Every structure is written in structure tokens, then in C-alpha cells.
Amino acid sequence: MEDRNSFSEAENKGPQPSAPQRVLITGGAGFIGSRLARRLLALGHEVSILDKFSPQIHGDNADLPADLRSSVQLFRGDVRDLELCRRALEGQTVLVHLAAETGTGQSMYRVRHYTEVNIGATAGLMELLLSGKFPLHTMVVASSRAIYGEGAAQCPAHGLVYPDARSRHTMEAGDFEPKCPHCGSATSMLPTSEEAPLHPSSLYGLTKQVQEQMVLMYAATLGINGFALRYQNVYGPGQSLKNPYTGILAIFSNQARANEPINIFEDGRESRDFVHIDDVVEATRLCVEASAQRPIALNVGTGVAVTVAEVVKHTLDYFSSSSQVTVTGAFRLGDIRHNCASVERLRATLGFVPSRQFAGGLREFLAWASGERLEARNYEQSLDEMRKAGLMYG
């Protein structure tokens, strides 16, 4: 009996980089998906998109960008719709599964919804693929650095450690740095590798952990390529400025442009690994075109951490904004303190490391944002929802 988990070079049945593929992108009308679709089309691949055009992400826009409408096949609807997914999968050779709910804070109180969309829909896709009716040879799933929780850190006494989620008690006292799980000492951040324990501190992170493990497990079961891409903080022109859960760059740019007050959580020294959309698309494209190999999880980041205070300063300077900035000490349960990815496995597997520097990428993003219309946002409403759920303090 043939070993379906064999990936020897002699029996390589995977795609070669130059071979045109038929690619289905779930969530393909979104920020990452639409940019990926353009890149794949330019390389000669056929692209289909499945998307429901969620108002939280797309606002009133319920259609593909004009340049994609005649170039891709659109399956309009919810990724939880099994019959829709079955039709969308017909004839596809690659599945890029981006469709998901992505709000870290929102996930903490919309528990069933996030579980149903992120885990339930992925389970449905796996059941369809197990039927053997589709010629799929590669799956790529959008995972997240949120699955690590606080990630790797350095303890003065114990070296490399993986701190637990921060407690409400210590953060209320203004003590925000993760603690060593062995001695309780404050730690300093280290780049987090894929070998780190998976210890999510938000429901969103937990759903992403289950989602990526499901995809990798069934890729191995089916004997096909499987990539779980642990995207760090993705940013760039084209991201939603309306969605209050899309990240701090959109929020701060909106506030700075309008000269509105900017309130910084914690002490402003929390940090993130910002990775440019072009680098994310390139890493994902390389997975689409990869030769056969064992299923694998890969960080997609820069390995460079930038503090929130730095982001605010650069944003204010760019817009010559008069926004009043207050470091509030407020915090949200489920948030992590620091974020910095090790990208060595990405380099070894795909021969690629994101190269866009944050300073230039931020200026590009802010230049694009400055040309967008300022519209009603729901950021303060999103914070009120967290307060009512007992998940935000200060």
C-alpha cells in the first residue's frame, strides 16, 4: 500500500514554481487576499475567491475591487456554507484559507461566533477534502503569532523561558512586563521561534491554534503540502481603516488625521513585529508554488520589534497632528506585551525573509491613508463592549 505521507524527491507530485495553479482563496476579498490574488494572476495562475463581504471589514463595499471582477471567479457567501465550499473547491489545486474573524479583543466575548467561524468552517473544509473528490495538492492557512501568547523571553536567572499570560492584578499595579514562570522575575523579550510552546492568551489565538493544527494534520493525512503561516502584525496600503479590530496603525492614523486625542494602553513600551503586506503576499505565494514537502508552520515577520510609543510618534510627525497623547495605563485582558518573530525557519524552508523596513513601510501606509476619506469609526464602541464584558480596565 502506498504511503500517503511520503514526500521523497523521487515521488514529488507537488507543483513546480512555473506551473500554473488553480487557487481558491477564502476571504479573498480582504486585505491580504486581494493583494495575493493580484500577485497570483500576474504570474499566470487561475484564482477563485470565496468571501461574504463582512460589513465589519468591508463597510458598505460588497464587491470585489474593479480590477479583480473580470479576472477571478467569485463565490459569494459564508465559509461555513458547506455546499458553497464544495462548489468552490471543484477543480482547485491549491487552497489558501484566509477567511476568519480576527479581533483579539472581540474574540474574548464573542466566543461562539469566533469558534464557529474559525474552527467550525475549517473543520467543514477538511471534511470536504477527505472525500477525495478534489485535486488539491497544497493547503495554506493564515495562522497568527497570537498562538504563542507572550512568546519567548529572557529571565536573568533561568535564561530562555515562556511566560504565562499576565494577570489582572499585576497590570492594575502598573507592572506590565511578563514574568518568569519559575521565579517571578521580570523578563525581556526574545524572538519567538516555531518551536515555542503554543500558549494563546486570547480566544482568537486559541482558534488559530486549532485551525492551523487541523490543516497541518489533514495535509499529512492526505499526503499533500500544508503550510500554516503565523503572520505577525500585517500592515500596508489597502488595509481597512473602518474595522476597529484591524490594528493600531489604522486606529492611530485615523485619530492623528482628525487631531483627536490618542490614548495609549499600558505604558507605551509594548511592542509588535510589523510585517509589510508585500512581504506577506510573497511568503504566501511561495507556499502556493512550493514543491512537495512535509506540512510545516512558519513565522512570517521581520524579527524586529517596534514599540507602540514609537508608532504614535512617527504617525503624529507625519501628519503634523495636534492630537493630545495620553499614556493611560489601561489594559485589555488577552493582549500580549511583546511580539517579535524568529524568521530562520522561513528562510530555510522558502529561501525568503521579509525585507521591507518599518520606517519606509509606515510612511507608505500613512501616505495612502492620508488620501482616504475619514469615516465614522467604531473604535470607542469596541472598547465599551470590552468594558461591559469585564475585559478592559483603566
- Please, what is the Cα angle at 134 between 298 and 18, to 5 degrees? 55
Residue 160 pLDDT exceeds 60: yes
Which of 137, 163, 190 delimits the end of a domain? 190
Q: How far is CA 162 from CA 74, 151, 200, 212, in A?
A: 43, 6, 11, 21
pLDDT tens track for 172-183: 999 999 999 999
Looking at the structure, tell me whether residues 132 and 181 fall in a common domain.
no
**pLDDT (tens digit, 9 = 90+) per residue, 193-248?**
999 999 999 999 999 999 999 999 999 999 999 999 999 999 999 998 887 776 89
Q: What pLDDT is attached to residue 103?
A: 86
Instruction: Tell me what the pLDDT averaged over the chain comes to.
Output: 92
**DSSP of 324-379:** PEEE---EETT--S---B--HHHHHHHS------HHHHHHHHHHHHHTSPP----H
241 occurs within a structural domain: no
Provide the number of structural domains found in the chain: 2
At which residue does the C-alpha cell 459569494 appear?
76
Residue among 98, 73, 19, 17 at smallest CA distance from 281: 98
Task: Identify whether residues 85 and 182 lie together within a single domain.
Answer: no
Residue at 121: amino acid letter:
A
> Would you say residue 13 lies in a domain?
no
Burial state string for 71-97 with b = 16 or more CB within 10 A and e = fewer than 16: ebebbebebbbeebbbebbeebbbbbb
Query: Could you list the residue range(s) of the whole structural domain that residue 78 is in?
Result: 22-151+191-235+275-302+338-357
In this predicted structure, the answer to whether residue 253 has a pLDDT above a threshold of 70 is yes
State the pTM of this model.
Answer: 0.92
Residue type for position 331 = F
pLDDT bracket for residue 378 (50, 70, 90): confident
Q: Is 69 a member of any domain?
A: yes
The catalytic site residues sit at: 204
Looking at the fold, whether 119 and 196 belong to one and the same domain comes out as: yes
Q: Give the Cα separation of 262 and 308 in Å (integer).
A: 12
* Contacting residues for 168 by C-beta, under 8 A, at least 6 apart: 333, 393
Query: Is 251 contained in some domain?
Result: no
As a whole number of angstroms, the distance between CA 237 and CA 309 comes to: 21
CATH of the domain at 229: 3.40.50.720
| Poorest-pLDDT segment among 38-47, 89-98, 341-350, 372-381 | 372-381
